[in-house]
Amino acid sequence: MDIHKLQEIVHKTRDARRQQTIPKYSPADRDQLIKKFHPDFRGAAYRPLTFGPNAGEMTVRELAALLEGDSPLPADFDLTPHYTTDVLVVGGGGAGCAAVLHAHAAGAKVILATKLRLGDSNTVMAQGGMQIAVTQEDSPVTHFLDTLKGGHMKNDHQLLKTMVEEGPSIAKWLLGLGVLFDRDADGNLHVKKGGGSSKPRLLTASDYTGLEIMRVLKDEVLNQKIQLLEFCAAVELLSNENGTCTGAVLRDLDNQRYVVVAAKTVILATGGIGRLHIQGFPTSNHYGATGDGLAMAYRMGAKLMHVDTFQYHPSGAVYPEQLIGALVTEGIRSEGGHLVNAKGERFVNELDTRDVVSSSIIRECKEGRGIRTMSGRVGVWLDTPLLDAEQGPGTVKKHFPAMVMQFERFGIDISKDPVLIYPTLHYQNGGVKIDTNGESEAKNLFVAGEASGGLHGRNRLMGNSLLDIMVFGKRSGSTAAARAATLSQGALTLGHLDRFRAEAKKSGVSSDVICPMILPAYARKE
Ligand code: MEZ
């Protein structure tokens, strides 16, 4: 059926929905709902890791194949360095930029290597805001408790305490650098409420918060004349005879050659794994999100945390086809946008935690209350025109200019027509285990941002990722610089890789997967 015909139900039921009581879930209902419908609980999608630091733990098959894949480097690879530095930062998103700026400020010689261009990352795609307790009514303790509850109490308490307590100083740092967060008429920072949060705590820059933060961080990296290696993807770490990290090998994508960097400390800020499309899900992630850092750290012997849990953001675009999986910010639900099924009913508190909202959407679609497009995709409606209806004409355009533009390119006016959405693979809740300074279990190897794990437990709250990358970017950058000042450059070997390969052989694993994959392979085989 024509999409406009299908949309009619949303307009027709708006008044009735205003009176509707939304279903309330008890803790037991929530658990049951998640276990039944959340993709984290589809047993067939999982298998145990055969060897390595997390041997025996379950993860999705796509990630297991990646972690057990082989390095592109031969054992006798020439490790003569092309560059020597104190701190090598791998990744040009928010965590990488924060790390390199703080390491540089601490006096270290630094290099920032990035797979694509500086700034190409999930950070620029973060829309709805950054959680920091900045108001009188809020506190880091409340932020801590909300996040712990959202993460099913599985968050690393020390990491979480560090993040929420350092939030206000991060806001100050970013404002000082020139980030233009939204303000109220009286000039105070404007805060919004995100899903699973008890207080309004989101600092925003319209619906392009991550882009605004990256605008400033990129400028600062350029202003500070940080040495950049763009289009250079890390493919392997280097270690000395004790297994301590001593640098990395990069693949120079422009010149199709390998580049060896000797570094006293290395910080991985390589982001997530959306482009592995686990369980066939579309993703909101950028093209470089292929889990490179996880695989390299695993080969180096660093333990991973929570490798069995992923975040499926409730609102990924389902229509038009060109936008499949693209993020439709939670900010729209924060401002009152209803989720509506094919019967014209609300079916969940739109500001519940993401795992609950996504599970409810999947349930509606599985039980026949979804809306099917002509190409056979299924989703539920997000009533975007409701915002104009409730708050006055022009609200959608004023508050969500990036979202409006994204759909306008395909002739869709989201202030008039609701948006069809379905959960999209958005975030890896876990990652490399780190301490509060960002150091992994492999000495002198630091990890910041989405590639690290433990902070968010089993479900991240909206806006905590932007704070995570700034706090742990800063802490890993400063600590890696201070550590480097105490070290001389270690030997460059592939000893850890030899051990990894021997372990694979002993476990009977022979993989034809070469990893990192660097970029997703979308070309059709034929
Ligand atoms: O933190 C996020 O994932 C985020 C802010 C997303 C969004 O819906 O805008």
Q: What is the pLDDT of residues 435-478, one digit of tens each?
A: 999 999 999 999 999 999 999 999 999 999 999 999 999 999 99
Q: Which of 283, 330, 352 to mutate to test the pocket of ligand 1 (most atoms within 8 A of CB)?
A: 330
The correct CATH number of 3-37+313-425 out of 3.40.50.11930, 1.10.10.10, 3.40.50.1110, 3.90.700.10 is 3.90.700.10
Which letter does DSSP use for residue 242 in this model?
A: T
Q: How far is the CA of 427 from the centre of ligand 1 (A)?
A: 10
3-state secondary structure labels for all residues of 110-145? EEEEECCCCCCCCHHHCCCCEECCCCCCCCHHHHHH
Give the residue whose CA is nearest to atom 5 of ligand 1.
Answer: 128
Q: Which two tokens stand for residue 383?
A: 């009533």
Q: Which of 38, 102, 299, 313 is catalytic?
A: 313
Q: Which of 212, 329, 460, 470 to mutate to test the pocket of ligand 1 (most atoms within 8 A of CB)?
A: 329
Whether the CB-CB separation of 314 and 354 falls below 8 Å is answered with yes
Q: What is the pLDDT of residue 524?
A: 62
Pocket test for ligand 1, best of 328, 403, 462, 468 (most atoms within 8 A of CB): 462
Index of the ligand 1 atom closest to the CA of residue 463: 1
What spacing in Å lies between the alpha carbon of 217 and ligand 1's midpoint? 19
Measured from the Cα of 462, ligand 1's closest atom is: 1
What pLDDT does residue 4 have? 84
Atom of ligand 1 nearest to the CA of 465: 1
Identify the residues whose C-beta falls under 6 Å from ligand 1: 126-129, 327, 329-331, 462-463, 465
Give the Cα separation of 65 and 295 in Å (integer): 10
Q: Pick from 436, 91, 84, 53: which is nearest to 267 by CA?
A: 91
Query: For residue 149, what is the enclosing H or E element?
Result: helix 140-150
215 is catalytic: no
User: Domain-by-domain residue ranges, the chain?
Assistant: 3-37+313-425, 86-309+429-497
pLDDT in tens, the chain (526 residues): 678 888 999 999 999 998 888 888 999 999 999 999 999 999 999 999 999 999 999 999 999 999 999 999 999 999 999 999 999 999 999 999 999 999 999 999 999 999 999 999 999 999 999 999 999 999 999 999 999 999 999 999 999 999 999 999 999 999 999 999 999 999 999 999 999 999 999 999 999 999 999 999 999 999 999 999 999 999 999 999 999 999 999 999 999 999 999 999 999 999 999 999 999 999 999 999 999 999 999 999 999 999 999 999 999 999 999 999 999 999 999 999 999 999 999 999 999 999 999 999 999 999 999 999 989 999 999 999 999 999 999 999 999 999 999 999 999 999 999 999 999 999 999 999 999 999 999 999 999 999 999 999 999 999 999 999 999 999 999 999 999 999 999 999 999 999 999 999 999 999 899 999 999 988 665 5
Q: Is the peptide bond before 168 cis (omega within 30 degrees of 0)?
A: no
- Tokens matching residue 502: 């021997």
pLDDT in tens, 479-505: 999 999 999 999 999 999 999 999 999
CA of 357 to the centre of ligand 1 (A): 14
CA of 129 to the centre of ligand 1 (A): 7
Superfamily of domain 86-309+429-497: FAD/NAD(P)-binding domain (3.50.50.60)
pLDDT at position 525: 59
Contact at 8 Å (CB) between 257 and 240?
no
Cα gap 150→46, rounded to integer Å: 23
* CB neighbourhood size of 166 (10 A): 20
**Residue 505 Cα to ligand 1 middle (Å):** 41
Q: Where would I find the H helices in 351-425?
A: 354-366, 385-391, 395-399, 401-408
Contacts of 122 (CB under 8 A, 6+ apart): 93, 210, 271, 272, 274, 285, 286, 289, 450, 465
Ligand 1 centroid from CA 198, angstroms? 17
Q: Which two three-digit tokens encode residue 426? A: 């958005």
Catalytic residue among 333, 363, 377, 460: 333
422: CA distance to ligand 1 center in Å?
A: 15
Please tell me whether the overall predicted TM-score, pTM, comes out greater than 0.85 for this model.
Answer: yes
d(Cα 238, Cα 216) in Å, to the nearest integer?
A: 32
Question: Residue 487's closest CA among 448, 444, 446, 447?
Answer: 444
Give yes or no for a cis peptide into 320 (omega within 30° of 0): yes
- Say if CB 264 and CB 444 are below 8 A apart: yes
For ligand 1, mutation pick of 197, 313, 334 (most atoms within 8 Å of CB): 313
Q: Which atom of ligand 1 lies at the shortest distance from residue 330's CA?
A: 8
Query: Which numbered atom of ligand 1 lies nearest the CA of 464?
Result: 1
How is residue 38 written in tokens?
């959340």
Query: How many angstroms is it from 147 CA to the middle of ligand 1?
Result: 14
Tell me if residue 102 is catalytic: no
Q: Whose CA is nearest to atom 3 of ligand 1?
A: 462
Atom of ligand 1 nearest to the CA of 461: 1
Backbone angles phi, psi at 354, to 5 degrees: -60, -35
Q: Phi/psi at 72 (nearest 5 deg)?
A: -75, -10
